[in-house]
Amino acid sequence: MTTTTVPQVRLRAGFAAALAVMYGREVPLYTTLVEVSREVNADCAASGTWTQRHGGAERLGSLERVTAERHGAIRLGSAREMAQVARVFAGFGMHPVGFYDLRDASATSVPVVSTAFRPTDPAQLAQNPFRVFTSMLVTEDRRFFDAATQARLEELVAARELFGPRLLELSDRAAARGALVQDEADELLELATAAFELSSEPIDKAWYDHLAAISAVAADIGGVPSTHINHLTPRVLDIDDLYARMQDRGIAMIDEVQGPPAWEGPDVLLRQTSFKALAEERVFRHEDGTVAPGSLRVRFGEVEQRGIALTPAGRELYDAMVAQVDEAMAGGDGRTRVEVSREVWREHLPTTEAGLAERGLAFFTYRVPDGADAAEAPLPTWEDVPGPEDLARMVAAGVLVAEPIVYEDFLPRSAAGIFASNLDGDGSRDDDQSGAEYDLERLSGVMGATVADPMDLYAAQQDASVREAMGRLGLVVFG
């Protein structure tokens, strides 16, 4: 008898699909969003002008990948819960990448630090890039929580069990073996999906309201009995088109697309928008002991368009451009943020991929074009991987072709914007108090899992492609 084994990539695809079914049942408007996203992607791929402008419909990922692509978001209450979810996600081949401090990225009250769990290997990403933006409440941050609130939060979170022993056991096994036998795979999917389902247990109204006055995000984490998927985000090729089509259907969207503006040059990083959180019925326990239905607005539908990953130099430029836009907006001449951004983009950012590559602003993979006669390339040997200008020369000479590396991560500013535009009330914070210091290392420490720096991953992918191409050209790269 042969036993079927299910490799991690299929576990991950199954997990994303199962969560989508569950979320579609919980938030029906999500299904509409996915439907409209499909239409947009199909129309982009079929449109000659769109395809030509983007150098091919699949330049930033195969249509199959883009159509199946989702990210989710969850919010947790403690380092222990983070460590456990890291084990669950590792079972699906998803590892923590990037550190985002939302406490400082937002003027409103968002007392969390975050990372994203995702595949790190380019081949795994190409097959299924499912990722989950995962936030941890920083209960010890006095800007948000006084000692009594901190103590109660920690006590409640410590007492709950989000991820049971069997789920953790199966996750560890999948991570260790890279696959599970069919029965165990089915069991893992069922347990993992259920762990992120909305709970129907009554919510303590007074406690929830106490937390909500401080931060709606804190209430959504520590004021409810368990965690849940907060949104699931499909990817589209044209987010402006998606935005317009959702509005045409009469769906209320947040005011703007977050991140880079629509413009004629290459798409970089990440653009996101969402429909507003909807009122959902939940059950509350009141102080007099009565249990009655009420409503909460915390879950929404987000959509995103992904562009090219920027190098540290490119990211520095991006951050400087955002700062310039902020400054111009503070001056306030009536133009929208998008209009101002577009002007700033035109002033600073190259209008072609080749321009981005030559200035070392974005990451690319390089390969020898099909059928090229490598031996005739009149090129020297290299002491190290050639730099952006040399690579650009080789691309111009037709010796190499460059393909953009897609940005697989998030933007703290947009994340804060997404949090904020979907919350009822700004909450409260006392900036005279000092916050609890967090960075990538500290988060790795408390989770017991190394949080990768996304820049290292993109750079390694680019370098590996260059080394391989150099090898094919018969050029030795020393160092």
Binding residues for ligand OOG (CB under 6 A): 73, 75, 133, 135, 230, 272, 302, 410, 414-415, 418-419
Of 128, 333, 168, which is closest to residue 325 (Cα–Cα)?
333
The interface partner of residue 208, options being Ni ion, ligand OOG, none and the CB cut-off 5 to 8 Å by kind, is none
Query: For 359, which DSSP code?
Result: T
| Separation CA 201–CA 177 (nearest Å) | 36
Cα separation, 325 vs 341, in Å, equals: 6
Residue 73 or 298: the one with the smaller Cβ distance to Ni ion is 73
Cα–Cα distances in angstroms (integers) from residue 406 to residues 127, 137, 162, 258, 458, in the given order: 14, 29, 33, 18, 9
- Closest contact distance (angstroms) between CB of 230 and ligand OOG is 5
Contact between 189 and 14 under an 8 Å Cβ cutoff? The reply is: yes
Q: Which does 414 bind (CB under 5 to 8 A by kind): Ni ion, ligand OOG, none?
A: ligand OOG
* 141 interacts with Ni ion by CB under 5 A: no
Residue 410 near which of Ni ion, ligand OOG, none (CB within 5-8 Å, type-dependent): ligand OOG
CB of 153 to ligand OOG, least distance (A): 17
Distance between CA 388 and CA 239 in Å, rounded?
Answer: 30
Closer residue to ligand OOG (CB): 75 or 103: 75
Phi and psi torsions of 125, nearest 5°: -65, -40
Smallest gap from residue 2 Cβ to ligand OOG (A): 41
Shortest CB 220 distance to ligand OOG, Å: 8
Nearer to Ni ion, 171 or 233 (CB): 233
* C-alpha span between 255 and 267 (Å, rounded): 21
Decide if residue 408 touches Ni ion (CB under 5 A). Answer: no
Question: Whats the size of the chain, residue-wise?
Answer: 479
Using CA atoms, how far apart are residues 323 and 348, in angstroms rounded to an integer? 13
Which stretch in 24-32, 97-105, 299-307, 318-326 sits in contact with Ni ion by CB under 5 A?
299-307
Q: Name the minimum Å distance from CB 28 to Ni ion.
A: 19
For residue 208, the 8-state DSSP code is H
Q: Which is nearer to Ni ion, 415 or 452 (CB)?
A: 415
Closest CA to 458 of 417, 405, 413: 405
Question: Cα–Cα distance between 105 and 90 in angstroms, integer?
Answer: 28
Nearer to Ni ion, 41 or 233 (CB): 233
> Which residue's Cβ lies closest to ligand OOG?
415
Return the SS3 of 134: strand
Least distance to Ni ion, CB of residue 133, Å: 5
To which residue do tokens 């500013």 refer? 413
Cα atoms in the Cβ-side hemisphere of radius 13 Å centred on 303: 32
Using the rule CB under 5 A, give the single segment among 7-15, 30-38, 108-116, 226-234 that binds Ni ion: 226-234
CB of 272 to ligand OOG, least distance (A): 6
CB nearer ligand OOG, residue 16 or residue 391: 16
What CA–CA distance (Å, rounded) separates 137 from 159?
A: 16
d(CA 71, CA 69): 7
Query: Between 73 and 239, whose beta carbon lies closer to Ni ion?
Result: 73
Is 60 or 415 the residue whose CB approaches ligand OOG more closely?
415
Q: Which does 419 bind (CB under 5 to 8 A by kind): Ni ion, ligand OOG, none?
A: ligand OOG
Q: Site size for Ni ion, by CB under 5 A?
A: 3
Inter-residue contact 221 to 78 (CB < 8 Å)? no
Nearest approach in angstroms of CB 79 to ligand OOG is 18
Contact with Ni ion (CB under 5 A): which of 81, 101, 220, 302? Answer: 302
Q: Can you give the binding site for Ni ion, defined by CB under 5 A?
A: 73, 233, 302
